[in-house]
Homo-oligomer: A and B are copies of this chain.
Amino acid sequence: MVSAKANMVTTARVRGTVPVRPCSPPVLQETPGCVGCVVRSRAVCSSCGPRDLAKLEPYKRFRHFEPGETLASADEPLDFVATVVEGHIGLRRSLPDGRRQIVGLLFPGDFLGRPMRSSVPYDADALDSVTLCTIQRHGFERLLGELPALEERLLAMALDELDAARESLLLLGRKTAREKVASFLLSVRRRTIAACSDGNGPGAEGGLPFPLPLGREDMADYLGLTIETVSRQMSAFKKAALIALPTPRQVRYLDIAGLTAETGEHGV
């Protein structure tokens, strides 16, 4: 079940921030076609047949963003929607005094943007190196009317996002720092696996370290905590041998069951 070579971290450092990728590194071309797209089975366009994809094509454009770059600003016009092809995006809301909360975390395959509205109520920025498959918003909206399957898929994704957001409400409102961090680590694992499963790349399993798409500060902003508290909880899990931290941005999951027991979601 667990590869014997799992511990052999064959690092081909990519941009210095996310050294280990369970998924094979994507081959970047200028706006490749949809055939063979690594995220299509999870993306909004998964409902489209070849005929529908052809309609999308003219509006499509790949765009690349460096870590930290802003993809969209709150209440400023955003003329595209997009599917995340590679990398991770944080959706942030903030208070005038600078307090920040990450209100959404996008993995490959996830949808970015706000159909039926000209702007988005949060800032979106690249947490690591990001590739987007953007579609001009007006074109996308027109297509929504023409392709019922596309609209239905977008609805399904929106409803799933809503359920996920509500799960985060429980996390932020009622979980302890320890439970928040444990829940977060497991959700990163789950989503990283999900984003890879439908494709190539060594399946991320067992002792192979997972990259954390967020640094400590972003984790804190995601969990409603401070950097220091996040760091302390990570250290505590490390000391308890539930995880290992080859580097601060890599986690090796040593005891999934033990970590799950720390999420507060499983009685007794």
Contacts and interface: CB of A to CB of B under 8 A. Distances in A.
Interface in A109-144: 114-117, 121-122, 144
A165 B166 CA distance: 7
Given A96-B267, A166-B93, A174 B121 contact: no
A30 interface: no
Contact of A224 (B93, B114, B163, B173): B173
Nearest to A264: B95
Given A100-B174, A265-B95, A158 B162 contact: yes
Contact of A167 (B121, B168, B173): B121
A145 B156 CA distance: 13
Contacts of A91: 166
Contacts of A168: 169
Contacts of A246: none
Interface stretch (A82-90, A147-155, A196-204, A206-214): A147-155
A166 B103 contact: yes
A170 B101 CA distance: 5
Interface string A35-78: 00000000000000000000000000000000000000000000
A13 interface: no
Contact of A174 (B101, B148, B159): B101
A154 to B, nearest CB: 6
A93 B172 contact: no
A235 to B, nearest CB: 22
A97 B267 contact: yes
B116 A170 contact: no
B170 A95 contact: yes
Given A165-B166, A173-B224, A159 B115 contact: yes
Given A158-B158, A158-B159, A173 B101 contact: yes
Contacts of A173: 101, 172, 223-224
